[in-house]
């Protein structure tokens, strides 16, 4: 900064802003800073010259390049991977397609080159034992396993609580039913996961 004969305070504030934006985006700050440090030296690392000899327009190009590096870092650390198939399973909260659509839209717009597909398998009124769409094992077989997902999210519980004060018996039924779903997902998809080399995850 000093070799450009300028007040370094502006550059420090810019660097601070970059760090804040990086942190808010959930990116790896150290990685972005390493790229900035390399470009701030006299080394012509990316074939664009050193920043000590650059005009303002060139510095803007550098900042754009840093943004690309940051986006790449975010993609590398993102939970979903290329080829993933996500099944959203649940009751009316899933069936209304709000949080599921928000999630799908985020992935498609932030990572447009990522090959990820989504299946919305919500059914209003469902409990851990099943509901209008049939018993739980029918629901899982038809609305989850049939799609051969690598990622399954489960959103159940509102109807299971029966909209009343806490009841130990109701809670035990819910806990056992939820565990049954998890065990079924792990058991029935284990063979698919192993044969296809996929990364089955439930959340």
Would you state the pLDDT for residue 197?
43
Instruction: For residues 62 and 121, state if they share a domain.
Output: no
The tens digit of pLDDT for each residue in 26-58 reads: 666 776 667 666 655 565 554 545 555 554 444
Q: What is the CA radius of gyration of the chain?
A: 25
Q: Report yes or no: 153 and 187 within 8 Å, Cβ to Cβ.
A: no
User: In the block, which residue shows the tokens 């650390």?
Assistant: 77
Question: With bands split at pLDDT 50, 70 and 90, how would you rate the model's confidence at 23?
Answer: confident
Cα–Cα distance for residue pair 41/197, rounded to 1 Å: 44
Q: How confident is the model at residue 9 (pLDDT cuts 50, 70, 90)?
A: low
- Give me the pLDDT at residue 61, please: 47
Mark which of 55, 77, 99 sits at the end of a domain. 77
Pair 153, 60 in one domain:
no
pLDDT of residue 8: 58
- Lowest-pLDDT choice from 72-86, 118-132, 168-182, 183-197: 183-197
* Same domain assignment for residues 43 and 100: no
Residue 201 CA: distances (Å) to CA of 36, 79, 122 = 36, 10, 18
Domain boundary among 77, 105, 129: 77
Query: If we measure between CA atoms, which residue out of 60, 59, 61 comes closest to residue 40?
Result: 59
Among residues 27, 49, 77, which one ends one of the domains?
Answer: 77
pLDDT at 198 over 90: no
Burial of 19 (0-12, 13-18, 19+ CB in 10 A): middle
- Shared domain check, 68 and 144: no
Number of domains comprising the chain: 2
Q: Quote the domain boundaries for residue 58.
A: 2-77
Q: Does residue 11 have a pLDDT over 50?
A: yes
Residues 119 and 144 in one domain: yes
Residue 20: per-residue pLDDT: 76
Decide the pairing of beta strands 134-135 and 130-131: antiparallel
* Residue 109's CATH number: 3.40.50.1110
Sequence-separated contacts (24+) of 69-75 with Cβ below 8 Å: 69/31, 69/32, 69/35, 70/22, 70/25, 70/27, 70/32, 73/27, 73/28, 73/31, 73/32, 74/25, 74/26, 74/27, 74/110, 75/111, 75/114
For residues 98 and 184, state if they share a domain.
Answer: yes
C-alpha torsion 110→94→119→145, nearest 10:
130
């Amino acid at each position: 900064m000093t070799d450009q004969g300028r007040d370094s305070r502006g550059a420090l504030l810019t660097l601070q802003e970059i760090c804040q934006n990086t942190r808010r985006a959930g990116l790896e700050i150290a990685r972005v800073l390493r790229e900035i440090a390399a470009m701030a030296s006299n080394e012509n690392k990316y074939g664009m010259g050193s920043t000590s000899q650059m005009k303002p327009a060139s510095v803007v190009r550098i900042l754009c390049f840093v943004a690309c590096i940051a986006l790449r870092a975010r993609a590398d650390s993102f939970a979903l991977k290329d080829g993933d198939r996500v099944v959203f399973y649940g009751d009316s909260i899933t069936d209304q397609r709000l949080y599921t659509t928000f999630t799908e839209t985020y992935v498609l717009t932030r990572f447009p080159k990522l090959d990820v597909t989504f299946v919305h398998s919500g059914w209003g009124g469902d409990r851990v034992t099943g509901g209008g769409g049939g018993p739980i094992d029918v629901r899982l077989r038809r609305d989850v396993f049939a799609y051969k997902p690598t990622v399954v999210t489960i959103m159940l519980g509102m109807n299971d609580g029966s909209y009343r004060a806490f009841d130990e018996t109701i809670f035990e039924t819910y806990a056992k039913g939820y565990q049954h779903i998890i065990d079924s997902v792990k058991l029935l998809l284990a063979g698919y996961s192993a044969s296809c080399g996929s990364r089955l995850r439930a959340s």
